[in-house]
Amino acid sequence: MIKLFSKNIYIYVIIFLIFLIGIYTYKDYGVGIEEHFHRKSGFYWLNFLLNFTDFEFIKKTTEIKLEEIKNFTPRLFPIENFGFYGILFDVPLAFIEVFFEINESKNYFYLRHFSIFMLFLTSAFLFYKIILFRFNNVYLALFGFLIFVFTPRIYGNIFFDNKDIFYLSILTINMFFFVRYLNNKTSLNLIFFSIFCAFSTSSRIIGLLIPISFFLILFFEYLSFRKSNFFFKRIFIFLLSYLITLIIHWPYLWTLNIHTLLNFFDPFFYAMNPVVYFNGDFFQSKFLPYSYLPIWIFISTPVFLFFLFLFGFYSCFRRIFFRLISIKEDAKIISNDLWKSKNENFDVYISILFLLTIIIYFSINPALLSGWRHFYFLNFFMVFFACYFINVVYLKSKKKPFLKIFLFILFFFSSFTIYDLYKYHPFQSVYFNKLVSDIKKNQFEIDTQSLSRVHAIKELLKEDGELIIGTASWTPLEDARSMISKKHWERLNFVGTEFEKANFIYSNYYYEVNTNYNKKYEIPQNFSLYKTLIIDGTRIYSIYKKNI
């Protein structure tokens, strides 16, 4: 009985509750803007892999599916030109779809949504384990777990985003294996860690920073202890298993020739360079201001989490800085090194990884769009540093009234965030925090994932007769049919920007052009507002109807 109510059981209860919420709500979300592309990518690479086998039936079905995708979404980019995306999520899902003969479009997208949700939940559990290892405090680990899952923009994406959330999940699992390696430096743990490093690299090229940071840690260790054998053995085992895994699971690498190998990184930095609406101004996505990422993170993260992260980041770096300035040349004195314990070793590793990410952001000037979703993996670092700060406060103010006040404030703000999640449902992915005024919210791109298109079509289907719908935004509205019952397809006629043919126009105010100068998405004067969805002052989409 005592065991049953042990505090270690809380996490399982919470996970079960989140699982129930997920099961109950995952069908509320629309289809993400990149899902069709990734589904196609899955079938493309499945077909590629099946060419090495004799599974004729699966091969034939895969080819039929590819043909169907080509006909249904002819505007999708050819995978041959964008083959560098990892296949870890897409190919298994394509295989399941073929193997279990899932042919209803709604169902295979639901399957994708449920799968990414489950993967994220697994990674969140491992995040709990990481925090528990690092701070040895169950309640802090539970709190960390909850804010890791319930950061609104992250939570809003865990039901459909098979790219950014997938990378966040893989990175978290990767970090868990690093913790395991730190705990027990066996070759087996090193191999597990390197395998997940390879998975991270194929999921996102920025994942390359994980092994680079690891090499730095190994190098620092070598500087202190001068164990050449240990150092080179670790490097050798890591590199061998990393490269083997990378080559085996990433068929894109098999297609490279000398020329493409020499320019290996070029495709990853290819950008369409659409116009990005940011802070009331239009920018080309290749030429965004430095402030793009910091401002996005600041306005779309709960205020308390943002400040906890900043203070935690400061506290952690302060500690590392003091370690750094007290390093002595003498290799024997362990207390004068960059870290004193496994916990500090982990802090140094996380800090190096985080710093390298920031350095990359500022130095290569990546083309960004859709808010900061390409950097959603930073949620791992934000929540980690937030927990770090809470731990600092806890250690410094044990048994003092200040601690109670601090915990009350945390509880208060967390409750607000949970309420926001409820209020925004199912559009948590467009969340802005309380510091952003309603006017300011409209100076940023909102529904960049085009989730609202399914919602809008369902609204329009309440009307009678044929629906001729125009699109006044950079959203492939017709792809929303994937989540609409086939019996309604006949009534839906999509005419893009040929507004003169339309009787309804949909817009989620997401553009790839500067609308001050390019008027292709301007709503004609013979249309008037029919419906608009506004949540917490955030305008998500509107439908305009032709005046009779």
Partner 1 sequence: MKLFVYKTLVACFLIFVLFHLTIGYTLRSYENEIKNYFSKDKINFFKDKIRIEIKDGLEKERILSKEDSILMNKFFEKISKELKNSK
Binding positions for partner 1, rule: CB under 8 A: 223-224, 275, 282-284, 286-290, 324, 327, 329, 331, 338, 355, 359, 362-363, 365, 513-514, 516-518
Nearer to partner 1, 355 or 534 (CB): 355
Nearer to partner 1, 97 or 221 (CB): 221
Closest approach of Cβ 332 to partner 1, in Å? 12
Nearer to partner 1, 19 or 287 (CB): 287
Closest approach of Cβ 272 to partner 1, in Å? 12
Closest approach of Cβ 542 to partner 1, in Å? 22
Q: Can you tell me whether residue 356 is helix, strand or coil?
A: helix
Question: φ, ψ for residue 77 (rounded to 5)?
Answer: -65, 145
Cβ atoms of 249 and 199 closer than 8 Å: yes
Separation CA 187–CA 239 (nearest Å) = 12
CA distances from 45 to 87, 258, 392 (A): 7, 21, 48
Token pair for 269:
């930095």
Token pair for 548:
């009779």
Question: φ, ψ for residue 470 (rounded to 5)?
Answer: -95, 165
Nearer to partner 1, 106 or 286 (CB): 286
Cβ atoms of 497 and 520 closer than 8 Å: yes
Nearer to partner 1, 66 or 235 (CB): 235
Nearer to partner 1, 365 or 528 (CB): 365
Token pair for 428:
């948590």
Nearer to partner 1, 167 or 511 (CB): 511
Separation CA 430–CA 156 (nearest Å) = 8
How is the chain split among helix, strand and coil, in percent rounded to 5? 65, 5, 30
Q: How many CA atoms lie within 13 A of 202 on its CB side?
A: 23
Separation CA 254–CA 186 (nearest Å) = 31
Nearer to partner 1, 304 or 510 (CB): 510
Look up residue 340 and give its DSSP letter. S
E strand or H helix at 230: helix 228-249
> Nearest to residue 506, comparing CAs of 533, 482, 541?
541
Nearer to partner 1, 172 or 285 (CB): 285
Separation CA 132–CA 138 (nearest Å) = 6
CA distances from 189 to 175, 177, 225, 249, 364 (A): 12, 7, 21, 20, 33
Nearer to partner 1, 352 or 540 (CB): 352
Separation CA 34–CA 160 (nearest Å) = 9
Residues in the chain: 548
Closest approach of Cβ 514 to partner 1, in Å? 4
Cβ atoms of 253 and 92 closer than 8 Å: no
- What is the bridge-based pairing of β-strands 538-546 and 504-507? antiparallel
Cβ atoms of 470 and 487 closer than 8 Å: no
Residue 380: exposed, middle, or buried by beta-carbon count in 10 A (0-12, 13-18, 19+)? buried
Closest approach of Cβ 509 to partner 1, in Å? 16
Q: From its phi and psi, is residue 136 left (phi > 0), alpha (psi between -120 and 50) or beta?
A: left
Question: How large is the C-alpha radius of gyration of the chain?
Answer: 25
Closest approach of Cβ 429 to partner 1, in Å? 27
Closest approach of Cβ 375 to partner 1, in Å? 18
Closest approach of Cβ 126 to partner 1, in Å? 30
Nearer to partner 1, 351 or 417 (CB): 351
Nearer to partner 1, 255 or 518 (CB): 518
Nearer to partner 1, 184 or 516 (CB): 516
Would you list the DSSP string of 281-312? EEEETTS--TTHHHHHHHHHS-HHHHHHHHHH
Nearer to partner 1, 223 or 535 (CB): 223
Closest approach of Cβ 289 to partner 1, in Å? 6
Tokens 């395998």 belong to: 195
Closest approach of Cβ 322 to partner 1, in Å? 13
Closest approach of Cβ 226 to partner 1, in Å? 9
Closest approach of Cβ 209 to partner 1, in Å? 15
Closest approach of Cβ 518 to partner 1, in Å? 4
Question: φ, ψ for residue 159 (rounded to 5)?
Answer: -100, 0
Closest approach of Cβ 171 to partner 1, in Å? 23
